[in-house]
Structure formats: structure tokens, C-alpha cells
């Protein structure tokens, strides 16, 4: 039943999130170009990735139907065609499709969740490297500036957590957030060499770290199973979904109190999923 863990032909699972203009597509292509030779890009952004055709060598498949099954079909086709890397740009459209399919009904989510799981399984089980981009909700931060002893204030755009199903980043080996200065901050990593690090204009340096890790890592149960975690990003996700659905704050507070907590960050990811389902009813 048990056998010694051995090295195997492992592939990276990378999630890049960021607000519009943070450089998700460019960064994904730059990293992919240093990971392998043949790149397939699943484009849900109306062909926007093709603007980089003069900088990178890759093939595209434009998805106008964002049903999870269409993503799965494209992933499997790219795998069968022998591509080294698959870029999914972006995965957020699948989440929007899931919200629409659920139709704001609890029984709707019962049908959608298996589709979501099949898409995740298709990404995890794929024999290619997977790089998925995800949108972050754009918010503004008022920043204080000091000059000649005087203070001034200016607005600054920031990216928040991904607009996705709660906890999806834990399905990936590495997840990071890109800001408007094109700095990638690693927020979750199974690769020790990049844990909690930042990368300006991520590309070759990050790809080489991945290649080195994949060449030496040994497959173990800890790499296959990820525990349910509690994280303050739950607060951000609930806020994003509430904004999208224009859901009353008072009803969220009542739901949290009925579950014995004050904030979404005190819930595990499964409980947050229940809250999101309630908001969609």
C-alpha cells in the first residue's frame, strides 16, 4: 500500500492575481517563456493577449463561452497537443459563469460546485505547467507623501484578493499578487525558495526558481493534500462578492453572529462558501 516517495515529472501550478493594468498577462507569458518552449494561452479577454505576439511565441484559443466545461475542454486539448505550458487568462471569467449558473439559488450551487471541482481537477491533473491569472477588485488607497517637511495626500490604485471562489489559491503550488508597479508578492508557496518574496517584472528569475525546485522536489502526501486554513483574505472575498451582488451588510452580520463569529476571517474556507451561497439566494 505504501511506497517510498520518489522524484517525478512534476509541473508548476501558479496563480497570478492583480487589478487591471498590473501586468498579469505579460508576467504569465514572461514566466512561461522561461519554463518551456510550447505555450498555449486560453484567452477570455477578447484577444488581448495577442498584443504581446511580437514579444513572445505562443498559440491562443479564444473562449467566448466561459462555462467551466469550455475551460476543461481547452485544457485537455492543449495537453493532447503536447504543449509545455498552459496559461489560463483569465480564470475569473469561470467564476462569473458559475455565479450566473447558480442563479442566486441554493439548489443552483449544488449543481455548480461539481463543475467547479472538475475544472480544478483538470488544472491539477494536467501534465503541463499551469499558469492562471485572476482579477482582483480595484480599490483606492489614500497615500500620504512627505516633501520639504509638508504633507500631501494622493490616491493610489491597489489590488486586493482574487475575485474567485473562496480558498481557490490553495489549489495552486504558488500564488502571488501583482500591484501597479508590476511587483509580484508571493502570498502562498510550496516552493521554499520563493516563499514571502517579491519579484519586480517577474519572468526569468522566478521561472528558474521553479525549474530548480521541480527538479529536486520529491512527491509526498503533503504536496498532494492541502489543509483547510483560516485567513484574513476571507474578509476581502466576502466584501467583493457583497459588492458584486449589492448584498445588505446587516444580513451578513446576522449570518456571522448566528455562526458564532464576528468576521469572515474567523471562518474556514468551507464556511465562507456557505456564506457566499446564502448571499446568492
Asked if the model's pLDDT at residue 230 lies above 50, the reply is: no
Look at 125 and 104; give whichever has higher pLDDT.
Answer: 125
In the prediction, which pLDDT does 161 show? 58
Confidence of residue 212 (pLDDT cuts 50, 70, 90): very high
Look at 233 and 188; give whichever has higher pLDDT.
Answer: 188
Cβ-contact 23, 184 below 8 angstroms: no
Asked if the model's pLDDT at residue 220 lies above 70, the reply is: no
Average pLDDT for the chain: 83
pLDDT, mean of residues 190-207: 95
How many angstroms separate the CA atoms of 118 and 113, rounded? 9
**Structural domains of the chain, with CATH:** 13-224 (3.40.50), 233-280 (no CATH)
pLDDT, mean of residues 73-93: 94
pLDDT, mean of residues 96-102: 72
Taken in order 98, 101, 105, 110, is the CA torsion positive or negative? negative
**Cell triple for residue 113?**
460546485
Asked if the model's pLDDT at residue 224 lies above 60, the reply is: no
How many angstroms separate the CA atoms of 60 and 193, rounded? 31
Lowest mean pLDDT among 67-71, 225-229, 259-263: 225-229
Q: What is the pLDDT of residues 119-155, one digit of tens each?
A: 999 999 999 999 999 988 766 677 778 877 778 877 7
**Cell triple for residue 141?**
488607497
Look at 201 and 168; give whichever has higher pLDDT.
Answer: 201
Distance of CA 223 to the CA centre of its chain: 18
CB atoms within 10 A of CB 178: 26
Q: What is the pLDDT of residues 20-75, one digit of tens each?
A: 889 999 999 999 999 999 999 999 988 999 999 999 999 999 999 988 889 999 99
Confidence of residue 281 (pLDDT cuts 50, 70, 90): low
Asked if the model's pLDDT at residue 222 lies above 60, the reply is: no
Q: What percent of the chain has pLDDT over 90?
A: 43
Amino acid at each position: 500500500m505504501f511506497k517510498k516517495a520518489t522524484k517525478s515529472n512534476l509541473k508548476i501550478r501558479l496563480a497570478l492575481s492583480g487589478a487591471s493594468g498590473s501586468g498579469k498577462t505579460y508576467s504569465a507569458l514572461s514566466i512561461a517563456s522561461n519554463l518551456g518552449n510550447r505555450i498555449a494561452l486560453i484567452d477570455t479577454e477578447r484577444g488581448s493577449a495577442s498584443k504581446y505576439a511580437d514579444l513572445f511565441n505562443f498559440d491562443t484559443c479564444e473562449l467566448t463561452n466561459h462555462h467551466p466545461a469550455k475551460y476543461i475542454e481547452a485544457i485537455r486539448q492543449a495537453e493532447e497537443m503536447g504543449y509545455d505550458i498552459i496559461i489560463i487568462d483569465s480564470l475569473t471569467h469561470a467564476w462569473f459563469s458559475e455565479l450566473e449558473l447558480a442563479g442566486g439559488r441554493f439548489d443552483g450551487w449544488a449543481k455548480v460546485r461539481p463543475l467547479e471541482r472538475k475544472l480544478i481537477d483538470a488544472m491539477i491533473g494536467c501534465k503541463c505547467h499551469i499558469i492562471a491569472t485572476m482579477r482582483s477588485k480595484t480599490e483606492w488607497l489614500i497615500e500620504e507623501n512627505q516633501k520639504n517637511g509638508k504633507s500631501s495626500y494622493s490616491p493610489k490604485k491597489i489590488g486586493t484578493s482574487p475575485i474567485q471562489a473562496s480558498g481557490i489559491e490553495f489549489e495552486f503550488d504558488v500564488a502571488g499578487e501583482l500591484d501597479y508597479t508590476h511587483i509580484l508578492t508571493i502570498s502562498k508557496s510550496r516552493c521554499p525558495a520563493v516563499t514571502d518574496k517579491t519579484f519586480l517584472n517577474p519572468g526569468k528569475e522566478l521561472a528558474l526558481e521553479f525549474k530548480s525546485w521541480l527538479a529536486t522536489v520529491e512527491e509526498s502526501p503533503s504536496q498532494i493534500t492541502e489543509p483547510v486554513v483560516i485567513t484574513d483574505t476571507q474578509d476581502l472575498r466576502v466584501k467583493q462578492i457583497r459588492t458584486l451582488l449589492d448584498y445588505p451588510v446587516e444580513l451578513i452580520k446576522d449570518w456571522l453572529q448566528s455562526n458564532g463569529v464576528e468576521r469572515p476571517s474567523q471562518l474556514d474556507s468551507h464556511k465562507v462558501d456557505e456564506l457566499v451561497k446564502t448571499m446568492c439566494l
